[in-house]
Structure 1
Amino acid sequence: MDSVLTLIAPPQASILDAATAARARAAMDVLGAETGQAVWLSANEACDIAFSGLAVEQAEAAVRETLNEIPNTPGIDIISQSLDGRRKKLLIADMDSTIVTGETLDELAAFAGLKERISAITKRAMNGEIGFAEALFERVGMLSGLEEKCLEETLKAMAVSPGAQALVRTMRAHGAYTALISGGFTYFTERISATVGFHEHLGNHLEIAGGKLTGRVIEPIVDKETKLKTLLALAGKKRIPTIETLSVGDGANDLPMLLSAGLGVAYHAKPAVAAGARHRIDHGDLTALLFAQGYARDEFTIT
């Protein structure tokens, strides 16, 4: 067998059973694939089905169509890929709405009474409707004069996404290098990186003078090209083949790195990004990326 299809249900959902796995296997068999028995990574949560004789895209499409016809299974994510290089040695992760549950700039804007206006711009930028740098300059410009202390208050209000620490710490425990890369700001990337356990972080720099935001961002800007270049540069520096890299994000500025990584995952992503990415997780938490690499739940590093 040279490929594997992984079925992943949200934690505690208990919607993935042996019958559902058998239906997924049958959907590939009918197209002429050779399939193996389901191997459970976590009971009622995740399983692998090894296969050969079928393109990974074709296998995923067939299984997705089959599961969509079964009641109570629309919450199951599907990742189909080659077995070669499945466990990744490099992780590049977006921060906002990926490693943390919200958008840090939107939450910061709440202190200026501008959250609704700025969130609308963020949404358009993350769906690729307007340029990232343009949207960044516009939003930050609206925060001119905001007290620096609001950054700390924003950080306190942010929550780490379920599964983020397990993802990063498990991959580190198995020798992977991890980097947090964000179009957000270093005030947040530095602290979130330390909390979650990344090796390094990269973000944009807010200009602050006299204890207040000036409304300017110090260039160069961390954008989609920066994220892609960082993925490739770290892979080169660490001598990691591209097939052994993993990237995850939700916005349009993540798409180039998602398409270039060995496993690029659109995580609860904006519509345009979910449509453009090769792989996506729509229902599960970030531990889904561990299951996608073949880790069983009892291999997860939680602390």
Structure 2
Amino acid sequence: MPHARFLVVFDADSTLLRNEVIELIADEAGRGAEVAAATEAAMRGEVDFASSLRSRVAQLAGVPLTAFDRVRSRVEPTPGAAELIAAIHERGGAAAVVSGGFHEVLDHIAPGLAVDLWRANRLGTDGATLDGTVAGTIVDAEAKAASLREWADGHEVPLTRTIAIGDGANDLRMMAAAGLGVAFNAKPAVRRQADVVVGPVDLREVIPLLP
């Protein structure tokens, strides 16, 4: 990894992206409402994230992989995302995303936003459809914090020059590990614990916080 002046790590769903991608996939299975309610509880910190994710992903069993083209077409970057990432790069920083969502979508979205690094969960398949499992280790709160530390070390960035931006309880550990934790479009528990709270759903509001 190249040296960077600073590092900004984003959550994906409802932070860098306007959508909760798992809900878009659940729509393909006709289970959008149930999964949306479970996602909301997880983001408020009311249930264990990994357990919640497994139960929500189980609802996706049988969704054909061909449905991902429709899902990706519905994903919208949050207003100001491209401008903020451009500002990060102009100032010599690196932009990364660590997500409790899925590589199957992030791998298509992140390059178009000029994100430098990203990590997410992978969905299990039987070759043609989702099998209702998460493949590999789940990206949970501790994995998010570990990713921030790993990427900062790889870019020779001290943790004091890192910024973590998130909205849900799953983001609190990486926000605590970062030099600056920013609550964006966030749940009340996250706003209470963040260093900075950004109210408007426009990522350009973060630009003045960049070092």
TM class by shorter chain equals over 0.9
2:114 maps to a residue whose letter is G
Q: Which has the higher contact order (CA 8 A, sep 6+)?
A: 2
Report how far residue 189 of structure 1 moved: 1.4
- 1:232 matched to 2:126? The reply is no
Larger displacement relative to structure 2 (270-279 or 178-187): 270-279
Aligned residue number for residue 189 of structure 1: 106
Q: How does 1:140-179 map to 2 (within 5 A)?
A: 140-179=57-96
Shift of 1:200: 1.4
**More displaced 10-residue stretch of structure 1: 277-286 or 137-146:** 277-286
Contact map agreement 2:78 2:201 (CA 8 A) in 1: no
Instruction: Map residues 78-157 of structure 1 onto 2, 5 A cutoff.
Output: 89-157=6-74
Q: Counterparts in 2 of 1:280-295, with a 5 A limit?
A: 280-293=197-210
- The TM-score normalised by the length of structure 1 is 0.66
Query: Structure 2: which 5+ runs fail to align?
Result: none
Distance 1:123 1:273 in 2: 13
- Aligned-partner SS, 1:160: coil
Whether contact under 8 Å (2:182, 2:194) holds in the other structure is yes
Counting matched residue pairs gives 207
Output the CA distance in 2 between the equivalents of 1:218 and 1:248. Answer: 26
Per-residue Cα deviation, 1:132-177 (whole angstroms, up to 9, x for no partner): 1011100110111111112221110111110101111211122111
TM-score of the superposition, structure 2-length normalised? 0.94
Structure 1 position 271, deviation (Å): 1.5
Q: Is the 8 A contact 2:88 2:210 kept in 1?
A: no
RMSD: 1.2
Q: Which amino acid aligns with 2:118?
A: H
Corresponding residue of 1:180: 97
CA drift at 1:235: 1.4
The structure that has the greater radius of gyration is: 1
The structure in which a higher percent of residues are helix is 2
Q: Which secondary structure state, in structure 2, belongs to the residue aligned with residue 287 of structure 1?
A: helix
CA contact (8 A) 2:9 2:98 kept: yes
AA in 2 matched with 1:230: S
Superposition pairs for residues 231-270 of structure 1, below 5 Å? 231-270=148-187
* 1:213-228 to 2 correspondences below 5 Å: 213-228=130-145
The match for 1:38 is none
Give, as a single letter, the amino acid of the residue that structure 2 aligns with 1:105: I
Moved over 3 A (4+): none
Q: C-alpha displacement at 1:258, in angstroms?
A: 1.0
In the TM superposition, what is the alpha-carbon distance from 1:263 to its structure 2 partner? 1.5
Moved more, 117-126 or 166-175: 166-175
Task: Name the % identity.
Answer: 34
Q: Letter of the 1:260 partner, please give it.
A: A
How far the C-alpha of 1:230 sits from its partner, in A, is: 0.9
SS at match of 2:149: helix
